[in-house]
A = this chain, B = another copy of it.
Amino acid sequence: RALWGGRFATETNDLVTKLSESVSYDQRLYKHDILQSKAHVRMLAKQGLVSKDDADKCVAGLDQLCAQIENGSFGQFDVKLEDIHMNIESRLTRQIGEPGAKLHTARSRNDQVATDLRLYLRDEIQLLIALARSLQSALVILAERNAEVVMPGFTHLQHAQPVVLGHYFLAYCEMFDRDAGRLSDTLNRLDFCPLGSGAMATTTLPIDRFFTSEQLGFRHGPCRNSMDAVSDRDFALELLATISISMMHVSRISEDLIFWMSQEAGWIELGDAFCTGSSLMPQKKNPDVCELARGKTGRVYGNLLAALTMMKGLPLCYNRDMQEDKERLFDSIDTYKALLQVFREMLLTLKPHRDRMLTAASDPFLMATDLAEWLVRNGVPFREAHHRIGALVGECTRTGRRLNELTLAEMQRIVPEATAACLELFDPVRSVQARNVFGGPAPEQVRNQVQFWKKQVWFVDL
């Protein structure tokens, strides 16, 4: 018979037990649930709602349960007890007797689970920030290593202008910086304590919500509205959204790496330990980690949408629908955590094929804009310069030649202002060095940014 079963005439149907239990996945909250219960029972004692002695027994019993769970002697969780909260309370009472039956005084599972989740997420988000920073540090290392490796920059997957490989890595570094910022904001916003909100209307007993909040280290104190406190899952949604945006970044790096590793580009090599082969084709070495990361982006988006959809249109306050928050949230956290770790390791094995990159960047079409800008410097309005160089390009395309294969005379037919100096513009190294603007791809700029990041990013080793 369920702990709440006083008024019920029959036992819960087995299909329902299976459908509604959560202990198979919310057991990961055990530590935070116990932490909370200890703070709660200490508060009950302070307020005279349980005796000091009972509280001490509860605390000791809870500590023992925690140890048992961690050393494996706790045994199986019981799905008939539904969730981690009831499993712990029930076992506590079995182990210490009556004092355990007092633990749930002035508390509902509604405020309990909301508090557990926030405690859990505080820890997890801090870890995610550290992992994101750690991935940034790998990117900064790669940026420094590749600050002079010239390659084509792309728009529309078409060659645009030459850049250096290090500049790419710094672009990703910016992305994870925003992600870490979002994680911090999420962490800050959730740092309120729901405990004491009860089922949704607090209690007629004289509890002290400020005491428990402080014991549990919540920065902003207790939640200001008991109905909101148990109805609110914004923190889950915000974290799911933040992870989704960051996974989008992971998917973009992945796409670039997959392309660079194609035989068509052939620009990089990833370590054998981070690739896998084919059961049929002996020659294959596939960038599976990148592909999985890209695929798992969909999974993480799906989790966000699942949670948003679940919360939509729910009346206040707690509804059982909200139990669905946890599996989606845990799945996104686990997925994201694994990818941050593996990308850091994988990226550090990346080896560029500099020659192939430089060759690709040497197509003079990539310097067409340099030529237009040279004309601007020589007084031609940009729109006019653009149009004329476009015509030159068209001429080359039709006649199957490269821009630097035109003679000066040929060039001058379309661009009368052209001089011999123009012909020197078609060097990608020179081109990239000339883009020495703040935030630009010139090696000097890249090195400046590397210095900036070295001061920002914690070079954590996790």
Contacts and interface: CB of A to CB of B under 8 A. Distances in A.
Given A227-B168, A298-B306, A310-B299, A376 B280 contact: no
A435 B201 contact: yes
A274 B12 CA distance: 6
Interface stretch (A2-10, A62-70, A125-133): A2-10
Given A171-B227, A295-B320, 20 more contacts: A6-B393, A9-B394, A13-B346, A100-B383, A105-B382, A109-B278, A155-B200, A156-B284, A171-B231, A178-B189, A182-B238, A199-B280, A207-B437, A238-B241, A248-B312, A252-B316, A283-B366, A292-B320, A302-B307, A309-B309
A167 interface: yes
A438 interface: yes
A339 to B, nearest CB: 8
A291 B170 contact: no
A258 interface: yes
A124 interface: no
Contact of A3 (B245, B256, B383): B383
A289 to B, nearest CB: 6
B160 A204 contact: no
A29 interface: no
- From A82, A279, A286, residue with most partner B Cβ within 10 Å: A279
A213 B322 CA distance: 44
Interface stretch (A31-39, A114-122, A367-375, A405-413): A367-375
A105 to B, nearest CB: 4
A136 interface: no
Nearest to A322: B295
A223 interface: yes
A369 B6 contact: no
Most buried by B among A203, A296, A307, A370: A203
A202 interface: yes
27 contacts: A12-B276, A49-B376, A105-B382, A108-B278, A108-B279, A156-B284, A161-B281, A163-B200, A170-B225, A171-B228, A174-B228, A204-B373, A205-B377, A222-B439, A226-B440, A227-B441, A245-B308, A252-B311, A259-B315, A279-B386, A292-B321, A292-B323, A295-B310, A295-B319, A297-B312, A298-B321, A309-B309
A387 interface: yes
Contacts of A285: 7-8, 158
Given A252-B313, A277-B5, A199 B160 contact: yes
A350 interface: no
A106 interface: yes
Contacts of A171: 225, 227-228, 231, 316-317
Interface centre among A162, A232, A264 (most CB of B within 10 A): A264
A8 B234 CA distance: 38
Interface stretch (A16-24, A71-79, A416-424): A16-24
A222 B161 contact: no
Among A101, A204, A284, find the residue whose CB has the most chain B CB atoms closer than 10 A.
A204
